[in-house]
Every structure is written in structure tokens, then in C-alpha cells.
Amino acid sequence: MGEASPKSLRTLNQENGGTSMNKDIEAEQLADGTVVSAHSIEIVCASCGYDLDEAELSADKCSDCGQDLALKKSITIQATSIPAYGEA
């Protein structure tokens, strides 16, 4: 499956200056007809759920709880139906 274009990336949490690791990728249809479903990606501290920003991913400790940094990644995929083309 093709990769979503960078212009379809939209940061959900703008509080961190646009560097939040919560991303919402909008659905799009690629030139070859492949449909990339809308999906959200969230990367947080596994210990406390703190929304890390991109600069904090290489740290050894969570800047919120102080625990060793272990990442938790969640992906939510929107499932939608695609209407049939042509005559019924």
C-alpha cells in the first residue's frame, strides 16, 4: 500500500508547538486507485500516558513522570465503505 503524502498529516495537539506525537492521517485515494484509510497514530509514555513531543523520543527518562522512557504506540484505523462504481 502507498504511503500517505506529508500534506495529509495534521497534528491533533498543537499545544507543543506542532511537535506532538499525535498524528491524524486523512483518507486519500492514490493515483493507482488504492485507498489509504484515515487513521490516527499516538505515541505516549507507557508509564504515565504523557503525550511526548518529537524531541523527547530520544530521552532516557520521561520528562513528566521521571520513569525510564518506554513508548506506547496506538494506531486507530477508520473503516468506511466505498460505494460501488457503475450501474447497479
pLDDT along the chain (88 residues), means of 10: 36 46 87 88 92 86 92 88 60
Q: Quick check: is 28 in a domain?
A: yes
pTM: 0.58
Q: Quick check: is 83 in a domain?
A: no
Q: Quick check: is 66 in a domain?
A: yes
Which residue from 31, 34, 27 is spatially nearest to 76, judged by alpha carbons?
27
Q: Quick check: is 87 in a domain?
A: no
Q: Quick check: is 41 in a domain?
A: yes
Q: Quick check: is 36 in a domain?
A: yes
Q: Quick check: is 54 in a domain?
A: yes
| pLDDT attached to residue 21 | 77
- The residue range of the domain holding 38 is 6-77
The number of folded domains in the chain is 1
| DSSP letters spanning 40-72 | EEEEEETTT--B-BGGGGG-SB-TTT-SB--EE
